[in-house]
Amino acid sequence: MGIGGISIWQLLIILAIVIMIFGTKKLKTLGSDLGGAVKGFRQSMTDDGKDKTDETVMKAESVEDAGATAESVEPAKAAEKEKA
């Protein structure tokens, strides 16, 4: 007995039927498309992790910039109030 009660001969017969229905050219294209999809998925998963890290750094920098801007604006507002 083979995998899950299916013998090697039964698998070969199924393979032959699939090849006769779809043809080798279409199966080759299907395999390469599937491989490309898996590769794209893996790449997006690794890029997604990097993007989140980049976003965190960008948010931290923007908060620091906002703090610096707020500090520089406060004295200017105070000076305008004193003039008025």
Does residue 40 sit within a domain? yes
- Quote the number of domains for the chain: 1
Does residue 14 sit within a domain? yes
Range of the domain at 48: 8-83
Count CB atoms within 10 A of the CB of residue 17: 10
DSSP 9: H
Place of tokens 């890029």: 47
d(CA 60, CA 67) in angstroms, rounded, equals 11
Does residue 69 sit within a domain? yes
Does residue 28 sit within a domain? yes
Q: For residue 13, give both structure tokens.
A: 């017969």
At 4, the pLDDT band (50, 70, 90 cuts) reads confident
Higher local confidence (pLDDT), 66 or 17:
17
Does residue 2 sit within a domain? no
Mind listing the pLDDT tens digit for each residue in 29-84? 988 999 999 999 999 888 866 666 566 656 656 655 555 555 555 565 566 666 65
pTM: 0.40
Strand partners of residue 3: 6
Residue 12 has pLDDT above 90, yes or no: yes
Are the beta carbons of 2 and 11 closer than 8 angstroms? yes
